[in-house]
Amino acid sequence: MTDLWPRVEPLLAQVERPARYLNHEWGSGVKEDADFSFCMIYPDTYELGQANQAVRILMNAVNATENLRAERGFLPAVDMCDLMRAEKLPLFSLESCAPVSEFDVVGITLPHELCATNVLEVLDLAGIPVLSADRAEEDPIVLGGGPCAYNPEPFALFFDAITIGEGETATPETLQLIRSLRKQGASRREILVALAKLPGTYVPSLYRWRSEEEAQAAGCWIEPLEEGLPTLIEKRVFEGFAESWGWEPCVVPYTEVVHDRLNVEVLRGCARGCRFCQAGMMYRPVRERSADNIVESVIKGLDETGYDEVSLTSLSTTDHSQIADILTRINSYCDGKGVRISIPSQRLDSFGIELAELVAGQKKGGLTFAPEAGTQRLRDVINKGVTEENLFSAVDAAFSSGWRRCKLYFMIGLPTETDDDIKGIARITQQVLERARKIVPPEQRGSIQVGISCAVFVPKAQTPFQWDGQIAPEEAMRRVNLLRHSIKFRAINVGWHDPKTSFVEAVMSRGGREVSQWVYTAWTKGARFDAWTELFNQQAWIDAADELGIDSAAIAQASYETEYVMPWSHISCGVSTKWLAHERKKATAEKTTPDCTFGPCSGCGACQSVGIENQLSEPRTKNELLGLSEGEIAVEQEVNHE
């Protein structure tokens, strides 16, 4: 492969954070004994991508496979992108500084909807045709995967194939198939047809996109253009997760990155059933690694990397049936070593202040609670399973135990929300502040901080709320202002997500293949780095919709009956559409559904679909700690700002 380093090095003095583009970090390297190359790309800057666990997992899985070599790639920051174009320097891999276009296969993860234009920026900067239809025989096969793959249509024009589900076994298997076919002299189309027959793989170019009328009549939006192709693509699941070792070799970066610490995944999946949560649906069933596995992995990882912080990651870490034992043993090992432990997602019923103490030790930063909605009625609608009593009990215990900072997370625009629900956010937040002031000694009350963070609800594919529309950006701001004016205490800070970016996110989440053309046109008009507030180009998206005649507001905001066939009906996350529709009807009736890992099966169909049941190290039980009932709590260390 071509070594681009002699051309890259002179540019580094002209850009911010040149360490983004250096290789040779501790733990990195190039596998020499391989004849087939794969570049794994995160479509954003190094600081964000290097912290992504999917990149690490897939890199290790590919490099552990005979004949396959994997390297990393990231999208340069804006200054470097522009400089590289001016110098006609193509996008390069990090390990060997080789042109991405010279790899056999390029994989791009899709972590969120707002990365769409960055995918195009990656391909264009690499010199790979942005549209899959324009690629020649010698061009790399471009693969996609990740959370956004569960509605792949907004990305359909850009990828040769998209993997649905978990990639530990699927990605090496896909690469081996491409390698074998290439050696046999297969054409690009023959390779794509073979990939389309591989479980969990979707090849958009091999399917005709039907009109809405056709799709509703046929019950599916896609029609195969080749015989023998599936019309339902079911997700892949890594069956060996629970038994796999939690420690995986990782790269320790030279420069500071987001979540710069050792990450050990303790479990995968969540069955809490929050009706707005896509991750809770698509990662089922629940699979736990054992306490011994986790503790040994943490010890090995800290010894190997030198990190002074470890994060036990998952969608619901404190739901782990052995979490108290895990934290106690890790704390014992870390005692006196200056190592901090953090948990990104905690719940009050399984967490409690005792476990908060185990996580924070003597250094109490801030606590984050996520009631999500301001009234019990709306919390029941979304199946949150949190009461005001839970929240107030948690606040009382936390401030009594020495915490002084508290943030509350809510969503605005949830289905059935009213102004009373918005005012409820103000009411319970003010009660939190009042309770804190009563508990904290008078001389310390000046250190109390209570804040609100509001996100605009985005209807996600594969969830019970997929049929519900998003409120208009103008209405979102009206509700934000209603909340601000309902807050009586100036000491409460209110923050909110930009409704304009949430609107684009909703169109990407709910749209069909026509949205792929919208993304392409917006990119040609200058849209890129849309997740970066200061770089978001709203006008590019507006102009693109006008040029194409697309009613983007209708895509984001339309609501449907549950019988309506959505544009991702050909993609299965394991949870049945019938169950999602049933949950949507229960939401209307304000009825909740219990977590099946604590009780009977809820009938979602995930275990039956993938052939794996929930795998728990021990039976899960509720309310063992301090007698606390359901709720949610998160520890935010001073070094973390999540």
* pLDDT beyond 60 at 636: no
- Is 306 a residue whose pLDDT tops 70? yes
Q: Give the mean pLDDT of 43-72.
A: 96
Q: Which whole-number Å values give the CA distances from 637 to 121, 135, 187, 343, 491, in the listed order? A: 35, 47, 53, 9, 22
Work out the mean pLDDT of the chain and round it to a whole number. 92
pLDDT in tens, 175-203: 999 999 999 999 999 999 999 999 999 99
**pLDDT reported for residue 216:** 98
Per-residue pLDDT band at 474 (split at 50, 70, 90): very high
Separation CA 22–CA 14 (nearest Å): 14
How confident is the model over 512-541, as pLDDT tens digits?
A: 999 999 999 999 999 999 999 999 999 999
Cα gap 315→266, rounded to integer Å: 10
Instruction: Report yes or no: 617 and 320 within 8 Å, Cβ to Cβ.
Output: yes
Residue 417: which of 457, 454, 360 has the closest Cα?
457
pLDDT digits (tens, 9 = 90+) for 572-586: 999 999 999 999 999
CA distances from 278 to 116, 119, 154, 460 (A): 18, 22, 17, 6
Paired with 495 in beta bridges are: 453
Confidence band of 345 (pLDDT split at 50, 70, 90): low
CA distance 583 to 384: 13
The predicted pLDDT at position 393 comes to: 83
The H or E element containing residue 366 is strand 366-372
Q: Which pLDDT tens digit goes with each residue over 239-265?
A: 999 999 999 999 999 998 998 999 999
Interval 404-447: pLDDT, tens: 888 899 999 999 999 999 999 999 999 999 999 999 899 888 88
Give the least confident one: 275-279, 563-567, 619-623, 634-638.
634-638
Task: Read off the pLDDT of residues 579-622 as tens digits, 9 standing for 90 and up.
Answer: 999 999 999 999 999 999 988 999 999 999 999 999 999 998 76
Left, alpha or beta for 603 (phi > 0: left; psi -120 to 50: alpha)? left
Neighbours of 289 (CB within 10 A): 25
Q: What is the pLDDT of residue 353?
A: 58
pLDDT at residue 363, rounded to an integer: 56
Q: What is the pLDDT of residues 110-151, one digit of tens each?
A: 999 999 999 999 999 999 999 999 999 999 999 999 999 999
pLDDT surpassing 80 at residue 360: no
pTM above 0.85, yes or no: yes
Q: Per the structure block, which two tokens stand in for 47?
A: 């600081």
Of the candidates 489, 437, 479, 431, the one whose C-alpha atom is nearest the C-alpha of residue 457 is: 479
pLDDT at 639 over 80: no
- Which tokens hold the place of 580? 């999602």
Q: Which ranges of 143-286 does DSSP label H, i.e. alpha helix?
A: 170-183, 188-196, 212-218, 278-282
Three-class DSSP category at 411 = strand
Stretch (H or E) spanning 341:
strand 340-342
Predicted pLDDT of residue 624: 37
Percent of the chain having pLDDT more than 90? 82
SS3 assignment, position 268: strand
Please give the average per-residue pLDDT across 479-498, as a whole number. Answer: 95
| Residue 309 dihedral angles phi and psi, to the nearest 5° | -150, 140
Radius of gyration (C-alpha) of the chain in whole angstroms: 24
Residue 346's pLDDT band, with cuts at 50, 70 and 90, is: low
* pLDDT at res. 629: 29
